[in-house]
Amino acid sequence: MTAINRALEGLNLGEAQHFANLTITPLLAAMPSVADYLTLAEAQERGLAVVTEVSESGSVPTLLLENTADQAVFLLDGEELTGAKQNRIVNLTLLVPAQTTLEIPVSCVEQGRWSHSTEEFASSERAFFSKGRARKAERVSANLRETGDRQSDQGEVWDDIECKMACMAVSSDTAAIGDAYNHFAGSVDEYVKAFQTGDNQVGACFVINGKVRGIELFDVSETCGKLMPKLIRSYALDAIEEGPENIAGESHSISDFMQAVAAAPADSFEALGEGDDLRIHSASIVGGALAAWERVVHLCAFTQESEADTQVRSSRMRSASDRHRYRERYISVVDDDGDAAND
């Protein structure tokens, strides 16, 4: 039995909660539990973790995290870090060991800025929208298998942001996905307020317009409670974009989806920090998990984009008149090594 099988085996489904076109079904453990690590936000609030550019010149796909705590620091897949030269998202879940400085793999989500707004990054209250996280996860998994690195396809991430901004009629001077969240802040907050996280809850399954989009699972209920609002924002932005009128086609049940996740092949790689990266590769499921300290600390798994979904997204991107508005100007900041150059 794999680590992912074991993590999913003892869970119960809670009562589904609904708001607008988003349904969240809690994943429940037998009893509440507490974490033996700090979230990034907690560590930063206590002055125990600092995230900066790797150097004065910076590197788009890499940041530096210094953890001075006596505990590991947890970073969530897709968690957005704001500030410094441009906002980034974390490419995959990490546990940075205690008293350790570590380079962490990230993707840019603010294409049109390359200048310091702050010296340090702050953990934001959001994660990258779920469809973008799914595509990023697929690319990170492929790169791990093929080259051993944990990079995304940066151009693909920018494409996803451009498509999202165009479809939601959001403008941004720096092509920052954060401006989409800010533009729809009132609506996104309504989604967050509509859902409650229970004492025994360790995760959730997210359904938009009747179609299962993904699951998020943590090792302890304490972490789930702290990070669930970030994840609700991630799925809410997709729900708002799609609207209730865009009813999805045939979908599998939550139980079927979880069984598919448990059955999906997963390659194992030594993690950058604590544990091992487990990367799912399946015709219908994409995602990954961090296994450390004899348990799965976090699992995220998403429904693989269908051919029809790909065609719809491609059509939307072709219709976005400003698709290349920032690309030609800022693509030059990434050299062949992935390092940023002052232009």
pLDDT band of residue 201 (cuts 50, 70, 90) is: very high
DSSP state of 59: B
Q: What is the mean pLDDT of the chain?
A: 90
For residue 186 the two structure tokens come to 């009132």
Q: What is the pLDDT of residue 246?
A: 59
What was the pLDDT predicted at 244?
84
Say which DSSP state 254 is in: H
- The total of other beta-carbon atoms located within 10 Å of residue 298's CB is 26
Which two tokens mark 336? 């062949």
Under a CB-based contact definition with an 8 Å cutoff, are residues 303 and 284 in contact?
Answer: yes
The letter for the amino acid at 204 is: A
Q: How confident is the model at residue 305 (pLDDT cuts 50, 70, 90)?
A: confident
Buried b (16+ CB within 10 A) or exposed e, 203-227: bbbbbbbebbbbbbbbbbbbbbbbb
Residue 316 parent element (H or E): helix 307-319
For the segment 255-268, the average pLDDT, to the nearest whole number, is 95
Can you tell me the mean pLDDT for 222-243? 97
- Band (pLDDT 50/70/90 cuts) for residue 10 is confident
Of 38 and 328, which is predicted with more confidence? 38
pLDDT of residue 202 exceeding 70: yes
Question: What confidence tier does 211 reach under pLDDT thresholds 50, 70, 90?
Answer: very high
Q: Is 295 helix (H, G, I), strand (E, B) or coil?
A: strand
Q: Check whether 29 has a pLDDT greater than 50.
A: yes
Percent of the chain at pLDDT exceeding 70: 86
306 pLDDT band (50/70/90 cuts)? Answer: low
CB-CB contact of 24 with 303 (8 Å): no
Kindly report which listed range (56-70, 254-268, 315-329) carries the lowest average pLDDT score: 315-329
> Could you tell me if 249 and 211 are in contact, meaning their C-beta atoms sit under 8 angstroms apart?
yes
Sequence-distant (6+) residues with CB within 8 A of 89 are 78, 79, 80, 81, 106, 107, 109, 127, 128, 136, 157
Percent above pLDDT 90 for the chain: 84
* pLDDT greater at residue 324 or residue 315: 315
End-to-end CA separation in angstroms for the chain: 52
DSSP conformational letter for 304: P
Banded pLDDT at 341 (limits 50, 70, 90): very low
What pLDDT, in 10s, does the model give residues 164-188?
999 999 999 999 999 999 999 999 9
Quick check: 254 and 261 in contact, CB under 8 A?
Answer: no
pLDDT, tens digit (0-9, with 9 covering 90-100), for 114-125: 999 999 999 999
In the numeric block, which tokens belong to residue 214? 């993904």
Q: Distance (Å, rounded) from C-alpha 121 to C-alpha 81?
A: 6
